[in-house]
Amino acid sequence: MSQTALVTGPTAGIGRSFAHQLAERGYDLVLVARDRARLEAEADELHATYGVSVEVLAADLADRAELATVEARLADAARPIDLLVNNAGFGLKKRFLDNTVDQEQAMLEVLVTAVMRLSHAALGVMSERGSGGIINVSSVAAFLPRGSYSAAKAYVNSFSEWAAHEYADRGVTVTCLCPGFTKTEFHERMEVGRGSAPDFMWLDADELVRTALKDHAKGKVFSIPSPQYKTIATAARIIPTGVLQKFQSLGRK
């Protein structure tokens, strides 16, 4: 029997790469995003290219009622999800007080609340049957002082690391992917140009997803693609916060 993966934010960037690479491996898919037209176009392409079954679930993860429909799909033991990829997310270009509190709340709902609730729904059925996996897309920003986005991703790191150890003996593998700047729509939507960070810091989405899937298959808790970001994550643990904070405008111009 084929396996099924549910991917949030699959119409662009890292999420789209996850959808295509998983389909190439024979996974049937459940795609979750706000834009139904883009979802359906992506579903048609995936089905035509790889011959897999693709289900579309249009939902705004910042809306609790719509989020609940995704939770219900994950909790449906009659239609099991073998792999959950919590990828959906967005960032805010401005500093904390330059954003409205509603903008900050919406980001928190997607980056933290949705990850927690969807993981809760998935872990329930996965641990019951003794198999399954979750990949939470975090960020190297989690190791750095970069406002509320960094704080949200730090939650994802901590939660993922705990869940990986808590549910390993129940057959569930949890991996936290921590990419850095990646060539996707993410920064374009923030109106941030590629010149906001040096060229060597920009990663290829397909390559980092390929690495993440290999790391997940090996049971790794953290997947930090590329040597430069492994170095940054390590250095962040010993460099004083005050020094790191001076570089928080990097990638925001």
Active-site residues, by number, are 149
- The token pair at 68 is 């609940």
- The token pair at 210 is 């390929």
Strand, helix or coil for residue 4: strand
Rounded CA-CA distance 69/59 in Å is: 8
Question: In terms of C-beta density within 10 A (0-12 exposed, 13-18 middle, 19 or more buried), how is residue 123 classed?
Answer: buried
Nearest-5° angle of CA 11, CA 16, CA 18? 145
Q: Strand locations in 116-157, DSSP E?
A: 132-137
Rounded CA-CA distance 26/12 in Å is: 20
Query: Is residue 135 within a helix (H) or strand (E), and if so which, with residue range?
Result: strand 132-137
Confirm if 175 and 136 have CB atoms less than 8 A apart.
Answer: yes
